[in-house]
Chain A
Amino acid sequence: MPDEVLDCRGQRCPLPVIAVARRLPELPVGTVVRVLADDPAAAVDIPAWCRMRGQEFVGQITGPDGPAYDVRRRH
């Protein structure tokens, strides 16, 4: 389960990525943040951001709130 949820529904690229980039460094290493994002670009850009920033992309989940992306702070 995620430690925190960022609700980015209704936001267009690149806002969901900016949201996770702002929030993750404020949380302890190991924390998992779930990003709710219905912009289809998030499915590409959140994993790409994790790769570029050396953070862990845990996976994509489609739940009752629509598509969600889990990211773990690694450093």
Chain B
Amino acid sequence: MSATPVYLDAATATPLHPVARQALLAAFEDGWADPGKLYTQARRARQLLDAARAAAAEVLGVRPDELSFTPSGTVAAHAAVLGGLAGRRRAGRTLVHSAIEHSAVLHAAERHVADGGDAVSVPVDRLGRLDADAWSAAVRAPGVAFAALISASHEVGTVQPVAEAAAACADAGVPLHVDAAQSVGRVPVPAGWSVLTASAHKWGGPAGVGLLVVRKGTRWESPYPADERESGRTPGALNLPAVVAAAASLRAVAADAAAEAARLAPLVDRIRARVAAEVPDVEVVGDPERRLPHLVTFSCLYVDGEALLHALDRRGFAVSSGSSCTSSTLRPSHVLEAMGVLSHGNVRVSLHRETSEADVERFLAELPGIVADLRAEAGVVGL
């Protein structure tokens, strides 16, 4: 018997929003020309691009000329960090970031360090929340050029104290990048940042579109060779149909965001409570209250994460894991490591607009048996 598929990995990629699909197909028809040229087809493409930019900027509450589209969220995060450091190289060479940034930010930090710069990682507590005092001290230190903070953990859902961190950065005169990939289109992002990035396939847009917002007055310099497109912030011809679809779906999800959060947050609470109550020896991780509405993470003692993912997949459930055996590097998730929580047997469940209460109930009904079977196979029952 093959089970009906239940997709619970929205934090990796959310199923394409119907508005995105519609916009994508329409834009394939008349959005193929280069928007920079001076003929009718190009003007049509330019109109589409301008409208997409205006729509995305309006959702984020920024000026259209502050917003650039990039070829992905990862490219946007790389550009945010490396461009922020380049623009402030006379102020110093130190990047301050949280210990739980997305790997895109950490890899940009590694590049900066390889080029002779410094990076300071600020710890989080057991719930995955930034140590705000350590952050304030770190950004005040001499030679700090730039700071990066994720809006909310993509692995455990803990919302970060962005307003407080931004205030500390403002006091120190250090521009702040907020990686808002898990927040944009779902929850508001506090003001005070200088650079913001996001990723369309996290909110139901197509993959291959990122957002890079640089507020006016920010000393940010493109880390790429010169290119006049996208205000010189990111080079190359855009995938315009995908950009149009990304913007249209962002507007749609933003309009429904409060209602969706109100629908999904109780389902996440239910998963947190029921998993803790019905699966023995499980650690439900992340902040119980200050959290994203759609994402929940737990670790099952003595269970192999890869085996758990495969067992769930056989029953039709698509989830993600931060366990080392599921990563190509065979290292545990740096987020779980920074929090000091159990990293094996880890499951991240993330919900989206197509997730029904029945889907969640079926997951909750089947999970305890799946975990029990794996423990019985491994001979670890009663340890």
| A residues lining the B interface (CB < 8 Å) | 12-14, 17-18, 21-22, 39-41, 43-45, 47-49, 52
Interface residues of B in 324-362 (CB under 8 A from A): 324-325, 330-332, 336-337, 340-345
Nearest chain A CB to B342 CB, angstrom units: 4
B301 within 8 A of A: yes
Residues 282-332 (chain B) with a chain A CB within 8 angstroms: 283, 301-305, 323-325, 330-332
Closest to B323 in A: A13
A47 CB contacts on chain B under 8 angstroms: 340
Contacts A13-B305, A40-B324, A52-B283 given; indicate if A45 touches B343 (C-beta within 8 A): yes
| Given the contacts A13-B324, A13-B332, A40-B332, A18 and B378 also touching, CB distance less than 8 Å | yes
Contact surface of B with A, Cβ cutoff 8 Å: 281, 283, 301-305, 323-325, 330-332, 336-337, 340-345, 378, 380, 383
- 10 pairs from A and B in contact (CB 8 Å cutoff): A13-B305, A13-B343, A21-B380, A40-B324, A40-B330, A41-B331, A44-B332, A45-B342, A48-B343, A49-B301
Contact present for B337 and A14 (CB under 8 Å): no
CA distance A13 to B346 in the complex (A): 11
Give, as a whole number of angstroms, the nearest-CB distance from B202 to chain A.
26
Whether B383 contacts A41 by the Cβ 8 Å rule is no
Name the A residues within 8 Å of B303 (CB-CB).
Answer: 14
Interfacial chain A residues near B345, Cβ < 8 Å: 14
B301 touches A41 (CB 8 A): no
Complex: A52 Cα to B344 Cα, angstroms: 14
What residues on B are CB-neighbors of A12 within 8 Å? Answer: 304, 324-325, 330
Q: Write the chain A residue with the least CB distance to B345.
A: A14
User: CB distance B302 to A21 under 8 Å?
Assistant: yes
Q: A12-B325, A13-B325 are in contact. List 9 more A-B contacts (CB 8 A).
A: A12-B304, A13-B305, A13-B323, A14-B303, A17-B344, A41-B324, A44-B332, A49-B301, A52-B281
Chain B residues, Cβ within 8 Å of A52 = 281, 283, 301, 342
**A51 to chain B: closest residue by CB:** B340
- B343 & A41 in contact (Cβ 8 Å cutoff): yes
In the complex, the chain A residue whose C-beta lies closest to that of B281 is: A52
Return chain A residues, CB-CB under 8 Å to B305.
13
B340 contacts across to A, CB distance below 8 A? 44, 47-48
Is A14 within 8 A of B301, CB to CB? yes
